[in-house]
Every structure is written in structure tokens, then in C-alpha cells.
Structure 1
Amino acid sequence: GFLSEFAQDEVKKKYQRDIIHNILNGLLSSKEMTEAAAQLGMKESDTYRVVDFHTIKKNVQRKYTKEQLHEVGVIVGELTYLLPDALIYRNMDQIVMIQQVDSDQTELEYQKEMEEVKDVIQRSILYRKKDTDFQIGIGKSVEGYQRLKESYHEASRAIKYIDIIRLVTGDKNKSVVHYSNLGFFQIFGKVDDVTELERYIPETLKKLYLYDEHKGELITTLQMYLRNKQSIRKTANAMFVHYRTISYRLEKIKQISGIDFDNANEVLAVSNGLIIYKMLKEIE
């Protein structure tokens, strides 16, 4: 009857979930991997990519409400409808997709397609009056299913850094990130202990941070000055202060830190150091 069919369907879904989980986390031997991939209809000669979808943040108790988990279920249904050829796997709050790569589609076209998917999902989230911050992390394309773990690792790293990218770029709506486009941020993906990154912060900047710890205006001025290609006028306009105020602050920055703004290498090291500081603050 209907109930036994439903039960069989649930068992099949759970089995598929377990297989995908084991493939993505590299928990299978080569032989097991071949068997699992065959059951999912995957071929070693095809190219795949993994996409990670972030939906809800855990509440203070690090638990989810029934309502939140129902919302994740609704999003899974929408993604399945929008991307019918993909393998979509859900584990509690996590949604992951394995997708065969279309060789005729460029990476840029794919990025745009994912932006459109994000827009559709985000609109329906708003329509349901939910506050889910829907984000998409895209991993690299890999040949065959044996290397899916690598693509998955990249996709989840991309998600991990969306908040920091929003912070650094000032683009609060950034929601779709391809790991290969992370550029400088990829360095952080390769560091297991993020506090190790402190070594890359120049001494000049450390001095300024110590001096400016409570007020914060010199660091903000420095960030804006570098973002505006060292134009005092543009920095003053962006910060809504007088030209002379910026000049005065820059003199103070030079006095305290000894930063040489004519040295391109030093300016690059300071710019990177500012990003690292932001990242370290984010993960405190």
C-alpha cells in the first residue's frame, strides 16, 4: 500500500544520502567508490562539480527549530525543481549538490546561472517572510567521481569566507562565490590554524592597531585611503570629512607606524594585513 511505498522511498533516500555523504567526505575505498558511483549513475569519464548551499544559522543553543528545518526542506524542493538533473543531498541544515559539468558552458555563464538560482530562491524566501540568508559556494570542476571530495572541500570553504568577503569588499549582498575566484582569500583556505596568519601582518600595522585600538579612526582612514588608491580628496569625500583632516590623520599614521606609502610592496603587505585583521576579528 501507500505507506509501505512511502517507507521504501524514505529508506532509499536515506541510503542515497549516506552514499553521497561518504563520497564527499572521502570515506570509501576505491572499490566502494566505484560501486557507489554506479548506483548514482556517475561515470569516471565525466566531469563534476560540487556546490554547497548555506541556509540557516544555528541558534544560541546550536540547535534548529522544527520551523527552520522545514524551511530547509522547502528550499531543497525548490532547488530540485530548478536543477532537475543534479544530485541534491540534504543533511539537517546542509544542502549539497553534485552536478555534471556542461562542457559548452563557460565558468562565467555558470556563475550567472547560479546567481539566477539564488535570486529565485531568495525571492521565495522573502515571499514566505523568512529571514534565511541563502548563500552558494561553488567548488572546482573535477574529472571523474574519485576527486569529488576536493570540489566539496572548496565549495564549503567558499561558503565559510562569504561573510569575510562581504566585510572586506563592502558588498553585503554577495551570496554566490566560486572558490577559484577567491584569489588572495585562497591562502586562508590552506591554513589550518588561522592564528598563524598573524605572522603576515607587518610590524608597521601592528603598531598602528595598538595605538588606535580604542578610537579606530586611523585604521578606518588607512583602509579608505588605500581603497581610494591613495587619493586624499576621494578619501575625504568617502568619509564625509575635510581634506585637511585626512592629511592630518595620514601624517599621524606615518609617525606612529612608519608606513612608506611610496613603497608598493609595503603598501601591498599593509593592505593584506588589514584583510587578515578583519578575518581574525570575524573568527574570534
Structure 2
Amino acid sequence: MNLSLSLLKEQLASLVKDVNIGISGSLLHLPHPVFFAGQSCLVSHTLYIAAAEKLSPDLTFMPASALICIGDPPPNCFNDDLDLLVIAATTDIFVLSNAIHEIYDIYERWDSNLQTCIRDKNSLQQLVDISEHIFGNGISIMNTDFYMIAHSTLNGLYDSLELHLDSSGRLPIEQVNLFKNDTVYNEIKNEKNVFIYPSDVLPFRTLCKNIFLNDTFLFRITVLETAQPFNDSDTQILEYLSHYLVQNSDYLSTFHRSKNSQLATLLQNILSGNAYNQTAFEKEVQQMGWRPNNTYCVVHIQPSSQDIYHTTTTYFCNVIMQDFRQTFAFSHDQSIRVIINMDHLDEPREAYFIRFNRMVKEGNFRVGFSNYFEGLNLLKEYFRESEIALEVGTRIHPTKWTHKFCDTVLPYMFNQITAELPGRLLSSPILLQLQAYDLKNHTDYVHTLQIFLKNNRNAVQTAKDLFIHRATIVYRLERIKEIGETDLKNCDDLLHLNLSFELICLATN
């Protein structure tokens, strides 16, 4: 493995007196050093070790050459083409050479272990384990679903961060929300180079590298500045590690988590109206212990724009399935869909939904619930119920987090009724006649009829609500019957009148 002069400077810090390092000094381009043997010119990409007295004042240098000199070299060595380390004159050249070769050996063993790990398709955890001593700081790998899929335990790193990862490596929801709402985090999601994430969200500076497979983000390698300050060479070493990964797509593909299990794929086909294997669907459901006669509820969760940008929907699908038993959650059309088996809950329904709604609020989601139903034969229609609940409920009550279909079904029906014709053209002729009479004669028969119907045709209660005498209400009702040409007993007429008043309210609102 080739090293940089900057890295050697860090490893030999106690011996270094002076430096002259340019851009090439940070590149991993130098193989094992050679002893200077009186050459007149130092060649590119070669590291020489020499005693100062052996160097000629006429020595020349090719670009990107490098020299470690024991003692003060001639002035011409401080040259833009030469990267230079000046070592204390008392240093034995063979002791220095051995120290340098030991440094190379350390990195070459690491390089060999990396090759073996990737060739054998070993876990990312093993990748972290063999690499943490190279960086001298804790390393972690977080995937697109905000799961810490590999991390070191150097210096109790994760205890000090108080991340409280669960057994599967999941970050807590509040930490995920902190990330996805952070402006700096938003800016670095698609960064291709190594970058420093400042200590605004995490209590430490963090060196990061995003890993992509065919432009699809897979995971982020992070090195946290906990045990020792970052070295200049850490960036190059992290780039070197990532280069190994991206050059081995077969290895990376083993960590490309499929966002759709077989059941999720079947459900997506059902929702999209595509053909699907009914037998395979029934088998998948049966394996979960769900039966055709069970009672179910489906949920439509609309993530925030930050969740869509950061692709955290799969993370929250996993959260839901881990924290709420007897649920299946999957992503579909930039939303989260959930099926809940109401018969198999291990807690009362009320307690279940209190916890579920708390999770909804913590995630900054908006949610629609379908009605309860038996069996999964009309699953597409019940998922549409949950969509309608969210669409209509959000329009009527924009500040609410959750909406039930049973609370939104009437507004939805009236929206459907008026989709082709305006509400006035659909109104009862009885109501239209009363409206025309009121307008011409300055009476209030429409309002009287509305209150009468609201009170289930109870004249006594209507008189009380209108603050009029019982005899007055009797008179008004008779006039309403005459003007509207109705006996106010026909079921179709009464239904049409009630719908007409609802259409008036809808138009008013």
C-alpha cells in the first residue's frame, strides 16, 4: 500500500523538525522508501531517505518526489517539486528506516485484511473492526434507513453519545427527526467526497463518507473525533477505504437492502391495480398468523417532505413493525401504508392507538385510518378509505394529526355528489320553493324547516330552539307544507331535504 508524506509526518511527529509539503504530500502515492545513493535527480512518486551531508547543492527534483532528510538539507531542497521532512540530526538512519517500514507494514496488513474482507463478502462490522485502529477513533456505518448497521465500541463511543441504539441498531426517532430537520444534514445527503460534519447536532466533529451503488445511496461511514484529534491523513485513508468499496459492486450489492419484501411487493401490486399472485398473497398472510375472519384496519401515513428527501420511510416502516405487534408496514408512492390485525393486539385497542398516535406526532406525520373490516378481500378499497380520510380530514381540520374515515365519509360523499353538478342544481325542489318564497316575502321558513329536520321533526323542541310559541311553529309547518307541496312524511323527500341542507353547509364552508 502506498502512503503519503503527510501520514508519515504524523506517525514520526516526535522526530520531525521541519517540513515542506505541497499538494502531492497528502496523496497516497509513495511506495516503500529507498536509500539515497548519490542520484543527481530525485524521481516522481518515490520516497528517499538520506543524511543531509550526502545531498549535493546541485540536486534536482522531478514533480511529486519526496525526501526524508536526517539533519538540515541544502537550501535547494525547499523546492515546490519536492515534499520534504527534516528529521533530527541525531537520528540513526537505520533506526529511522525501520520505523518507516513498520508504519508501512501496519497499513499493508490493514490493506490485506480489507481485500480479504471484501473478497469473502464478510460483514461491514468486520470492516469496522479491522479499521478502527487505523483511524484511532470510533467508526460507525449508518444506512439509508437510519440504522447503525456497524459500529465500534472504542472508548465507549455510543454510551457517551447516549444514542440508546436498540438490539437491531436503530436510532431513536427523536435523533432521526433531529437529523432530517437539520439544514447541514440536508446539504450533505448527496455529497460524493469526504466531508466534516460539524458538532452542531452530534457532540463531536465527524468525518463522513457517503457510499453509493449506481448513484443509489447505501450507507455513510463516519469517524467521530472522540479518542484523539483528526489527522490530515484521515481524509485520504477514508477515501482509500471507500474506493475499495465502490470498486467492488458485488460486495456492496449484498448490503443493498431491498425496500420491498415479497408481501410488500404483493401489496403494492394490489394498490396499483396490477396483476398479482393471490395464492402467494394468502400464503404470506397466513405465515403471519392472520386469518380471513380477523378484523383489520389500514392506515395511510403521509411523511413530511424531509422524510421523502432523506428516504426515511423504510426506517419508519421498521419502527412501526418493531414497536407495534401485529402490524405490517410498507412504502408506496412516497407514503407509508400499514395493516393492523385488530384481533391479535397484545394490549387494549385504546392503549394501542394512544401509542400509535404518539409515534405519529413524534414523526411529524399526517395519518388517515380506514373503518374496521373483516378479511382482506377488499384491501384496495379500504386503503382508499384511509387515503380519503387523510385527504378530506386534512382539508377540514388542517391542524389535526390523525383522521378517521368515519368522520370524513359525509364530506367525501358530498364532494362526490357535486363533482359534476353544483349543489344548487341538486337541491330539493321543496327547498328551492321555500327559498324563493322567503326571498320575496321576507319570511324564515327555510331556517324553520332546517331546525325542524335537525330535531328529527320534533315541533316542541324546534319551538324552543327558535324561541317561538308552539302555536307559531304549528302554523309555520303548515305553511311550509303548502308552499313546498309536501306532507313532510315522504322518506325520499326528507332524505333529499337533509342532503340539500348539507350541500348548503358545504358550499358555505
- Structure 2-normalised TM-score? 0.35
Query: Could you say if the C-alpha distance between residues 244 and 55 of structure 1 is closer, same or farther in structure 2, counting changes exceeding 3 Å?
Result: farther
Q: Is the CA contact (8 Å cut-off) linking 2:434 and 2:446 kept in structure 1?
A: yes
Shift of 1:87: 1.0
Out of 324, 329, 351, the residue aligned to residue 88 of structure 1 is 329
Q: AA paired with 1:203?
A: P
SS at match of 1:195: coil
Out of 285, 289, 306, the residue aligned to residue 42 of structure 1 is 285
Hey, what's the Cα distance between the residues in 1 that align with 2:394 and 2:438?
A: 24
Shift of 1:51: 0.8
Alignment: residue pair count: 246
Hey, what's the Cα distance between the residues in 2 that align with 1:173 and 1:218?
A: 40
Q: Is the CA contact (8 Å cut-off) linking 1:118 and 1:135 kept in structure 2?
A: no
Q: Select the structure of larger CA radius of gyration.
A: 2
Deviations 1:60-105 (A, max 9, x none): xxxx6427989x9697677445532211123466332234563x89
SS at match of 1:28: coil
SS at match of 1:11: coil
Q: AA paired with 1:66?
A: Q
SS at match of 1:52: strand
Q: Does 1:13 align with 2:259?
A: yes
SS at match of 1:20: helix
Query: Could you say if the C-alpha distance between residues 11 and 155 of structure 1 is closer, same or farther in structure 2, counting changes exceeding 3 Å?
Result: same
Out of 143, 148, 160, the residue aligned to residue 379 of structure 2 is 148
Q: Does 1:26 align with 2:253?
A: no
- Superposed, 1:120-159 pairs within 5 Å as 120-122=355-357, 134-138=367-371, 140-142=373-375, 147-157=378-388
**Who is 2:67 aligned against?**
none
- Superposed, 1:243-282 pairs within 5 Å as 243-244=468-469, 247=473, 253-254=480-481, 257-275=484-502, 278=505, 281=507
Deviations 1:102-147 (A, max 9, x none): 3x89xxxx9x82x554444445666x696x664411363235xx65
Hey, what's the Cα distance between the residues in 2 that align with 1:125 and 1:224?
A: 39
Hey, what's the Cα distance between the residues in 1 that align with 2:402 and 2:445?
A: 27
Identity within the alignment, %: 17
Q: AA paired with 1:149?
A: K
Q: Which has the higher helix share?
A: 1
**Who is 2:215 aligned against?**
none
Out of 49, 62, 66, the residue aligned to residue 306 of structure 2 is 66
Shift of 1:261: 2.5
Hey, what's the Cα distance between the residues in 1 that align with 2:366 and 2:379?
A: 26
Q: Is the CA contact (8 Å cut-off) linking 2:445 and 2:480 kept in structure 1?
A: yes
| Comparing 80-89 and 12-21, the one that deviates more | 12-21
Q: AA paired with 2:420?
A: T
Shift of 1:156: 3.9
Q: CA RMSD in A?
A: 5.4
Out of 456, 467, 488, the residue aligned to residue 229 of structure 1 is 456
SS at match of 2:487: coil
SS at match of 2:488: coil
**Who is 1:61 aligned against?**
none
Hey, what's the Cα distance between the residues in 2 that align with 1:192 and 1:234?
A: 31
Q: Is the CA contact (8 Å cut-off) linking 2:298 and 2:337 kept in structure 1?
A: yes
SS at match of 2:285: coil
Shift of 1:243: 1.9
In structure 2, list runs of 5 or more residues that go unmatched: 1-123, 125-140, 144-148, 150-217, 220-253
Q: Is the CA contact (8 Å cut-off) linking 1:82 and 1:117 kept in structure 2?
A: no
Hey, what's the Cα distance between the residues in 1 that align with 2:393 and 2:449?
A: 23
Hey, what's the Cα distance between the residues in 1 that align with 2:322 and 2:450?
A: 44
Hey, what's the Cα distance between the residues in 1 that align with 2:327 and 2:360?
A: 22
In structure 1, list runs of 5 or more residues that go unmatched: 57-63, 167-171
Hey, what's the Cα distance between the residues in 1 that align with 2:445 and 2:316?
A: 44
Q: Is the CA contact (8 Å cut-off) linking 2:452 and 2:459 kept in structure 1?
A: yes
Hey, what's the Cα distance between the residues in 1 that align with 2:401 and 2:483?
A: 36
Q: Is the CA contact (8 Å cut-off) linking 1:50 and 1:98 kept in structure 2?
A: yes
Query: Could you say if the C-alpha distance between residues 223 and 262 of structure 1 is closer, same or farther in structure 2, counting changes exceeding 3 Å?
Result: same
Q: Is the CA contact (8 Å cut-off) linking 1:50 and 1:99 kept in structure 2?
A: yes
Q: AA paired with 1:229?
A: N
Q: Is the CA contact (8 Å cut-off) linking 2:385 and 2:405 kept in structure 1?
A: no
Q: Is the CA contact (8 Å cut-off) linking 2:299 and 2:367 kept in structure 1?
A: no
Hey, what's the Cα distance between the residues in 1 that align with 2:476 and 2:319?
A: 52
**Who is 1:52 aligned against?**
299
Q: Is the CA contact (8 Å cut-off) linking 1:135 and 1:175 kept in structure 2?
A: yes
| Comparing 46-55 and 21-30, the one that deviates more | 46-55
| Comparing 115-124 and 263-272, the one that deviates more | 115-124
Shift of 1:203: 1.6
Hey, what's the Cα distance between the residues in 2 that align with 1:50 and 1:220?
A: 40
Hey, what's the Cα distance between the residues in 2 that align with 1:76 and 1:249?
A: 60
Q: AA paired with 2:273?
A: G
Shift of 1:23: 2.4
**Who is 2:107 aligned against?**
none
